Structure 1
């Protein structure tokens, strides 16, 4: 009993002691007015001499049509909260690693260490929660033929998706089926007049600037929270 109590207390203390990874020295911060808004203010920070310094922004972006909901990132989830699910039209909130980039261009301006793939018709990103490849990038060895393959295609002649930077929500190796997939930074629709299904979007020039700035060696993270939650967690989580 004493051992179980010790484990329980250790778990609680561990969750309470969360802070941004010590080796992360790049951070994109997104804050929304409340949990039901689809607009976001974005800023980018670098850690210099142990202090966060704003280097880009602020600039505006769009979120899910129905706002935000807690996502599966690297931060502990508050007790009893609702978590993102596939098709809920909400952007995942929390702290997430930022992954590679995918796009239509043969080359883009980027850090040499940042993974980039020029997508073709054979590149898929699986959003089918019943698939063992859910929320993963796949490359077919043939042109898509089935309705399922065509539905998962990354390249569908859609300009807003012509450049994407991965937000590691519910990401491999620990993927929870049905908890949301294909969350990216990408180009916004209608000049910012339209919300998303869950991604964070912005004008193309800002996205390209962000992609060029990201340095995988600095372990970049994305923090997306409401203004109130950001203020509440800022000191505890050591946010910019």
Structure 2
């Protein structure tokens, strides 16, 4: 709570009264101290009114994240997709969208969405073919898909190269999985199509990690959302707000 400065109106009135009436009364007594007021109280009378006192608001953090994970989110980032795995070896997760609001901090702007991740869970040292999703905070800068742009503000690469075929780990068809994708900037060059295969950390460290349409089972390393949620995500992401995905199992993200 802020502190007021300058003379108190009550003391000023007491001094003015003494000047007008002389020193009658018991001059050995000090003037009574002004009473304490609540933060939203105002003072009225001949001296006018003062506005409500300032209130200190503690900026909200994303509740599921620990100090280490929070420190990896840039101060310039205003959108975060938080994907939380059930356990280190689980391929099921939930995703929640957050926006950073000036003064108030991070606010959830979606309900928890069901998601899948890699077959064997999560890792903070991802390698090609390990069937685990990388843990970390990664920028989201580029999108694409087999279907036309549904209205995203991200650069969108539309083409037949996003055709998916075959079956997943549980025998489910993969067709349509890449109808819409958002590239996760793990071991890739930002500002390029999700199909760009340059790997800054080397091919052994894997790549091609996307958020894409869920096919009903675990992925090889990506995060997948239901089709309607994927469309909603694409419409929400705003490159001006420097969006990121924060992804990992619940224990790792809580550090």
1:64-213 maps to which residues of 2 (within 5 A)?
64-70=118-124, 83-111=125-153, 114-121=154-161, 154-156=162-164, 158-172=175-189, 174-189=200-215, 192=216, 194-213=217-236
* Higher radius of gyration, 1 or 2: 2
Deviation at 1:17, TM superposition (A): 9.7
Partner of 1:143: none
Which residue of the other structure, out of 12, 20, 26, is the alignment partner of 2:79?
26
**TM norm structure 1:** 0.66
In 2: Cα distance, 1:18 partner to 1:207 partner = 27
Partner of 1:231: 254
In 2: Cα distance, 1:37 partner to 1:227 partner = 10
Partner of 1:222: 245
In 2: Cα distance, 1:195 partner to 1:225 partner = 15
Partner of 1:148: none
Moved more, 154-163 or 205-214: 154-163
Moved more, 169-178 or 221-230: 169-178
Whichever structure has more strand as a proportion of its residues is 1
In 2: Cα distance, 1:207 partner to 1:17 partner = 25
The gaps in structure 1 that reach 5 residues or longer are 1-14, 71-82, 122-153, 233-240
Deviation at 1:16, TM superposition (A): 10
Partner SS state of residue 105, structure 1: coil
Deviation at 1:222, TM superposition (A): 0.6
Partner of 1:40: 93
Q: 2:98·2:110 contact (CA, 8 Å) conserved in 1?
A: yes
In 2: Cα distance, 1:180 partner to 1:103 partner = 21
Partner SS state of residue 57, structure 1: coil
Partner SS state of residue 56, structure 1: coil
Higher relative contact order (CA 8 A, sep 6+): 1
CA gap of 1:49–1:164, structure 2 versus 1, over 3 A, is: same
Runs of 4+ in 1 over 3 A off after TM superposition: 15-19
**TM norm structure 2:** 0.62
Deviation at 1:170, TM superposition (A): 1.0
Moved more, 98-107 or 37-46: 98-107
Cα deviation 1:79-99 (Å, max 9, x = unaligned): xxxx11111111111110012
Asked if 1:52 is matched to 2:99, the reply is: no
Partner of 2:53: none
Instruction: Tell me how many residue pairs correspond in the alignment.
Output: 169
